[in-house]
Amino acid sequence: MTTDIKTEIDFLPETDSSAALLEVRDLHVEFRTRDGVAHAVNGARFRLQSGQTLAILGESGCGKSVTAQAIMGILDTPPGFVTKGEVLYRGVDLLKLSEDERRRVRANKIAMIFQDALSALNPVFTVGFQLGEVFRKHLGMSRADAKKRAIELLDMVRIPAAAQRVNNYPHQFSGGMRQRVMIAMALALDPEVLIADEPTTALDVTVQAQIMKLLAELQAERNMGLILITHDMGVVADVADWISVMYAGRVVEEAPVHDIYARPAHPYTKALLESIPRLDLKGQQLNVIKGLPPNLTAIPSGCAFHPRCRYARDACRVDPPPPLYETGSGTTAACHFWKEVRGGE
């Protein structure tokens, strides 16, 4: 792909190229609704380096998508408010930037793809027009030039007959192809960070495999940092380098992918792993996690997982919630009894 026009990206003067590519510190997000304040994110944190794949793993309502929206600055405000925390891109706190600056960070530096590609694309414009929009708005290209670039992008994500397909509307594409278009759009300006929010959840497994392979290839080509938000422990095991497990808006465990699966240190991670059936095993007993994920307007005191936890004791039920204990070099787990959890029953 020809990248003759490089965007003017030095509009963030204080960037420190030795700092982590993206770091989130103690992020808090709440939704002020009629039924009360929902604490969607309560101190999320993680760090991403170039070329790394970080998976944020959790069930619906654990705050993983809201975290992504807060990083991108696309949170619905109101009702959503970032109440505390920092989102550092190369050392610059994005939350302190003006809306205009943030808009330039989006797409140029940090881009995002969404779960449902059909509703993320506008049905009344051609795919080519929507892809070209990035170039017209961010680079001020002419329509004709933007379309040429759109064709290159479709080629890049391996859509056959790109020159013809560029004039098609989203409904003329299959689910997998729409997600490819989304990826093309996100990568148009060569971002350094790509946030993929459940990119394959709506797709069939064979198409999922295609898309994950494409993402991995594009990531390797560009040495891009990838944040993969998902609930699928299988996909994570295949692609992630590092995993953050979230529960009720908090990161409860952070570790490299091999450690998480081999020696989970948080009871929630452990229980999740024991509750999913595996393709290559038969007759395994599925361990059920009792109860339900907590209501975010009334998160249990102490450790939010304690009502569902088989290790829970009195210490778990009282505030403050367990801190992220260091469990190894760089790995952490928010459980008072992580040694016991990791050591077995």
Partner 1 sequence: MSDVVLETKDLVKHFPITRGIVFQKKIGAVRAVDGVTLQLHRGETLGVVGESGCGKSTLAKLLVGLEKPTSGSIVVRGTDIARLKGNEMRRARRHIQMVLQDPYTSLNPRMTVGDIIGEPYEIHPEVAPRGERRRRVQELLDLVGLNPDHINRYPHQFSGGQRQRIGIARALALRPEIIVCDEPVSALDVSIQAQVMNLLENLQNELGLSYIFIAHDLSVVRHISDRVAVMYLGKVVEIGDDTQIYEKPTHPYTQALLSAVPVPDPTLRGQRDEIVLEGDVPSPANPPSGCRFRTRCWKAQEICAEKEPLLVERERSAHPSACHFAEVRDVVHAVE
Q: Which residues bind partner 1 (CB under 8 A)?
A: 59-60, 174, 176-177, 204-210, 213, 231-238, 240, 257-258, 261-262, 271-273, 275-280, 282, 284, 286-289, 292-293
Q: To the nearest whole angstrom, how small is the minimum distance from the Cβ of residue 134 to partner 1?
A: 26
- CA angle, residues 314, 319, 324, in degrees to nearest 5: 95
Task: Report, in Å, the least distance between residue 202 CB and partner 1.
Answer: 10
| Residue among 72 and 156 whose Cβ is closer to partner 1 | 156
Nearer to partner 1, 152 or 232 (CB): 232
- Pick the closer one to partner 1 by CB: 80 or 264: 264
* Complete DSSP assignment for 295-329: PTTSPPSSSTTGGG-TT--HHHHSSSPPP-EE-SS
CB of 111 to partner 1, least distance (A): 24
Q: For residues 277 and 344, which CB has a smaller minimum distance to partner 1 in the complex?
A: 277
Q: Is the dihedral of CA 167, 172, 177, 181 positive or negative?
A: positive
Task: Give 160's contacts (C-beta < 8 A, 6+ positions apart).
Answer: none
Amino acid letter, residue 20:
A
Q: Which is nearer to partner 1, 65 or 108 (CB)?
A: 65
Q: What minimum distance in Å lies between the beta carbon of 211 and partner 1?
A: 10
The residue among 5 and 276 lying less far from partner 1, judged by its C-beta, is 276
Written as one letter, the residue type at 213 is K
Minimum Å gap between C-beta 276 and partner 1 is 6
**Nearest distance, CB of residue 248 and partner 1, angstroms:** 13
Q: Given its phi and psi angles, is residue 318 left (phi above 0), alpha (psi -120 to 50 degrees) or beta?
A: beta
Cα distance between residue 195 and residue 201, in whole Å: 15
Which strands make up the sheet holding 36-48, listed edge to edge? 36-48, 22-33, 80-89, 92-93
Burial of 199 (0-12, 13-18, 19+ CB in 10 A): buried
Q: Which is nearer to partner 1, 230 or 327 (CB)?
A: 230
Long-range interactions of 142-147: CB distance < 8 A, separation 24+: none
Nearer to partner 1, 91 or 293 (CB): 293
Residue type present at position 60 = S
- In the complex, the smallest distance separating the C-beta of residue 115 from partner 1, rounded to whole angstroms, is 14
Q: If we measure between CA atoms, which residue out of 94, 75, 56 comes closest to residue 197?
A: 56
Least distance to partner 1, CB of residue 237, Å: 5
Q: Say how many C-beta atoms besides its own lie within 10 A of residue 112's C-beta.
A: 24
Closest to partner 1 by CB, 7 vs 287, is 287
| Nearest residue to 28 via CA among 45, 14, 8 | 45
Q: In the chain, which ranges are E strands?
A: 22-33, 36-48, 53-57, 80-89, 92-93, 110-113, 193-197, 225-230, 242-247, 250-256, 325-326, 332-333
Do the beta carbons of residue 237 and residue 305 sit within 8 Å? no
Q: Considering the complex, what minimum distance in angstroms separates the CB of residue 181 from partner 1?
A: 14
